[in-house]
Amino acid sequence: MMSRQAFLCSLGSLYLSLLFVFLLMDVYARPANNSALKEKVAESKDENEILPPDHLNGVKMEMDGHLNKEFHQEVFLGKEIEEFEEDSEPRKNRKKLMVIFSKVDINNDKKISAKEMQRWIMEKTDEHFQEAVEENKMHFKAVDPDGDGHVSWDEYKVKFLASKGFNEKEIVEKIRNNEELKIDEETQEVLDNLKDRWYQADNPPPDLLLNEEEFLSFLHPEHSRGMLKFMVKEIIRDLDQDGDKKLTLSEFISLPVGTVENQQAQDIDDDWVKDRKKEFEEVIDANHDGIVTMEELEEYMDPMNEYNALNEAKQMIAVADENQNHHLELEEILKYSEYFTGSKLMDYARNVHEEF
């Protein structure tokens, strides 16, 4: 008969084996990213702060065409999203939610209307905008060492390559002498993508010099209508299979997904396709003709579109509106806390009465 110690050892080995299998399943089931620029950013986000971020807060779609899974939390919580961590104490999160509810409920009638939620979404989106502006000031100073208020493409390229481990003095010398830079193919591809964006952010007259406002458009295309158009063109270029500069449903859901190895991975892929199909048919395709044009995608991507914010407010209410009165009560938000905050509250009904 197996001893207690042997049994525990065996159980521990089984647990580690299962953990390893689940980790592999997660890796293979995760949707692929077909943007070389985003891959490079994701790998070294911390050390390359002067790169355009791989994720734009409060924007419904990522720059590579993937849906932003955290969008609802970002436009509901604003900067407070960081405070709602998965391991945060439920009681504290519940109190935070109650405070947010009272702020959204501006007429104090104990329920949130679509108009109140729309106003709140616009306010939180603007909050993300202001956060990006402040970060941009810091980043601009880093790439404008002479403080003349303009950054040349070469100045930026030097800082970018230095952040990738290249010798800054050597790069400066080679650029000054028009010597060839020995750069690996992958880094060169990222540079080429960045230069395309640099051209687009360079407002007329084009001089390849970016001021602080233009640099903000370079890092955060959602701040500029022109850059928003450029981002939409890139997304459609990546997804458009027949070259007509429009997207059909089949093109929109055929973005490469994970290699399916088992049923759980298949379910993840199926959910991913189902989410994209729903977003295409119910939200992006505004006139419901089965085709998404650049104009429709641009309106969808615009974070400061008030009409979109109202639609989003109605959708967010519909998710938790259990009594079907087209408003949200506090109890409903607490019950569906995972949707609004990413955190699940336990025993919400009992505790909310305790708080009151």
Distance set, CA 284 to CA 115, 293, 297, 308, 312 (Å) = 21, 9, 6, 10, 12
Whose tokens are 């006139």? That residue is 287
Q: Looking at residue 79, what is its pLDDT?
A: 87
Q: How far is CA 3 from the centre of its chain?
A: 51
Q: Looking at residue 102, what is its pLDDT?
A: 97
Rounded Cα distance between 45 and 35, Å, is 15
Going by their DSSP bridges, the two strands 209-210 and 247-248 should be labelled as: unpaired
Rounded Cα distance between 57 and 71, Å, is 7
Whose tokens are 């979404």? That residue is 121
The DSSP letter of residue 221 is G
Q: Looking at residue 45, what is its pLDDT?
A: 42
- Work out the number of other CB atoms within 10 angstroms of the CB of residue 301: 22
DSSP 73-87: HHHHHGGGGGG--TT
Q: Looking at residue 80, what is its pLDDT?
A: 87
Rounded Cα distance between 196 and 96, Å, is 43
Q: Looking at residue 279, what is its pLDDT?
A: 94
Rounded Cα distance between 295 and 299, Å, is 6
Which H/E stretch holds residue 209?
strand 209-210
Q: Which residues contact 241 (CB under 8 A, 6 or more apart)?
A: 251, 254
pTM comes to 0.76
pLDDT tens digits, the chain, 356 residues: what are they?
445 445 444 544 544 444 443 433 443 333 333 333 334 333 444 444 578 888 889 999 988 889 998 999 999 999 888 888 666 788 888 999 999 999 999 999 999 999 999 999 999 999 999 999 999 999 999 899 788 999 999 999 999 999 888 999 999 999 999 999 889 999 999 999 999 999 999 988 888 899 999 999 999 999 999 999 999 999 999 999 999 999 999 999 986 555 445 656 556 578 888 999 999 999 999 999 999 999 999 999 999 999 999 999 999 999 999 999 999 999 999 999 999 998 777 554 445 444 44
